[in-house]
Amino acid sequence: MLNNNGYFGEFGGVFVPEPLKNVLKEVEDSFYKYIEDPEFLEELKFYQKQYIGRENPLYLAERLTEKIGGAKIYFKREDLNHTGAHKINNAIGQALLAKRMGKKRIIAETGAGQHGVATATVCALFGMDCTIYMGEIDTKRQQLNVFRMELLGAKVIPVTSGTATLKDAVDAALNDFVQNAEDTFYLLGSAVGPHPYPTMVREFQSIIGEEAREQILEMEGKLPDYIVACVGGGSNAIGLFHPFFNDKAVKIIGVEPAGKGLDTQEHAASLTKGTPGIIHGFKCYTLQDEQGEPLPVYSMAAGLDYPGVGPEHSYYKDSGRADYVAVTDHEALKAFFELSRTEGIIPALESAHAVAYAIKLASKLPKDNIIIVNLSGRGDKDVAQVKDMIEEDETVADLLNKQ
Ligand SMILES: *Cc1c(COP(=O)(O)O)cnc(C)c1O
């Protein structure tokens, strides 16, 4: 299961130029070596507990459950991790691997800046040199995250080529990686990209599902009926899903961003509306034009705004192991308000997509059913954006007033 040669069914693989292939091979060999090394795993466990603050709770949302009147809703509280989301699980894992490989310099790409912040955080922790590539347009949209990264000691390089957004930042980072492979490690932020990244990120995020599985067995004496998570690139979702893969009675649901609606061009629902193709060096479901170029995508949740999706999710979809659904901005905002006022938890806008679907699902299920929802991050980063949306759009203000 672990050594899959980088394929999940027909998806995944390594579609990159030859020099990059050699560099990726070194990462792959080291990953397979250390992921079974008891000392490496011990060190990983130490930082998960002492730095991230794991294990985090599996929390029964009693007020929300009662209000909906159906299945019991549990939240896996990744929002309580240090830095406020699941991304740190992966960043710590890859940084420790880089250290073992003798690399002194870390590079990463970032779109909205959340992965850049997680990467800058672990570089500060381990005293590593950190360079973050970010599209120039994104650096202007996300000035506060640029400052956060700089506070943490990272160098942020605005990328001006192409569209000056995430795709160009990825290209710049890959270029740097090939040029400086001797002392540099590329820390990738989601369960995407060429092998070994999707498998590696999955392994470092699987702590989510491993903990949740043990916790629900302890609390309820049985497995959940459903597990639900939002899907951008797919790392928080695969981290929850993978440890339940062989529990065939557990139904798996990934929630994609339907943005302004699946019948518009403004969404990022790669699995729901995409077709198989190759982007960023791997094969997956992707939103592409007739030439196979990635289409512009949109979600109000910056972390879900990606034209592809992890290869393992692409395989889960085709094999029928998981179902993928989509939730609009509007539905996610409603859940954002509802969770804030019913449980005192302000979720990340990304996570609010999973919450929205879980609420809809719970209302149709009997009371003895159990749903686990991954609360991938906290909403502190989103409150200013939501405030603007309320001020600009009456229908959003109405949603809040109805809670
Ligand atoms: C980045 C992010 C996501 C989306 O990334 P995945 O790789 O799909 O998990 C979801 N939630 C939060 C809070 C994020 O920061």
| Amino acid 4: pLDDT | 77
Residue 300 corresponds to which amino acid?
M
| Amino acid 2: pLDDT | 58
Q: How far is the CA of 350 from the centre of ligand 1 (A)?
A: 6
Residue 349 corresponds to which amino acid?
L
Structure tokens at 103: 């690399």
| Amino acid 402: pLDDT | 87
Q: Which of 190, 207, 313 to mutate to test the pocket of ligand 1 (most atoms within 8 A of CB)?
A: 190
Taking the mean position of all CA atoms in its chain, how far away is CA 182? 28
Q: Which of 236, 306, 381 to mutate to test the pocket of ligand 1 (most atoms within 8 A of CB)?
A: 236
For the CA of 189, the nearest atom of ligand 1: 7
Q: How far is the CA of 304 from the centre of ligand 1 (A)?
A: 6
Known catalytic residues are: 87, 109, 376
Structure tokens at 237: 């979702």
Residue 28 phi/psi, 5-degree rounding, is -60, -50
Q: Which of 87, 142, 300 to mutate to test the pocket of ligand 1 (most atoms within 8 A of CB)?
A: 87
| Amino acid 3: pLDDT | 62
Assess contact for 118 and 88: CB atoms under 8 A. yes
Structure tokens at 333: 């905002």
Q: For 282-382, where are the alpha helices, taking DSSP H only?
A: 311-319, 329-343, 349-363
Q: How far is the CA of 286 from the centre of ligand 1 (A)?
A: 17
C-alpha span between 290 and 308 (Å, rounded): 15
pLDDT (tens digit, 0 to 9) for every residue of the chain, 403 residues total?
456 789 999 999 999 999 999 999 999 999 999 999 999 999 999 999 999 999 999 999 999 999 999 999 999 999 999 999 999 999 999 999 999 999 999 999 999 899 999 999 999 999 999 999 999 999 998 899 999 999 999 999 999 998 888 888 988 999 999 999 999 999 999 999 999 999 999 999 999 999 999 999 999 999 999 999 999 999 999 999 999 999 999 999 999 999 999 999 999 999 999 999 999 999 999 999 999 888 999 999 999 999 999 999 999 999 999 999 999 999 999 999 999 999 999 999 999 999 999 999 999 999 999 999 999 999 999 999 999 999 999 999 999 988 8
C-alpha span between 382 and 302 (Å, rounded): 10
Which residue's C-alpha comes closest to atom 10 of ligand 1? 350
The bridge status of strand 58-60 relative to strand 129-135 is unpaired
With a 6 Å cutoff on the Cβ, whether 231 touches ligand 1 is: yes
Structure tokens at 380: 């502190």
Ordered strands of the 105-110 beta sheet: 155-159, 129-135, 105-110, 184-186
With a 6 Å cutoff on the Cβ, whether 233 touches ligand 1 is: yes
Q: How far is the CA of 322 from the centre of ligand 1 (A)?
A: 18
pTM for this entry? 0.97
C-alpha span between 403 and 397 (Å, rounded): 10
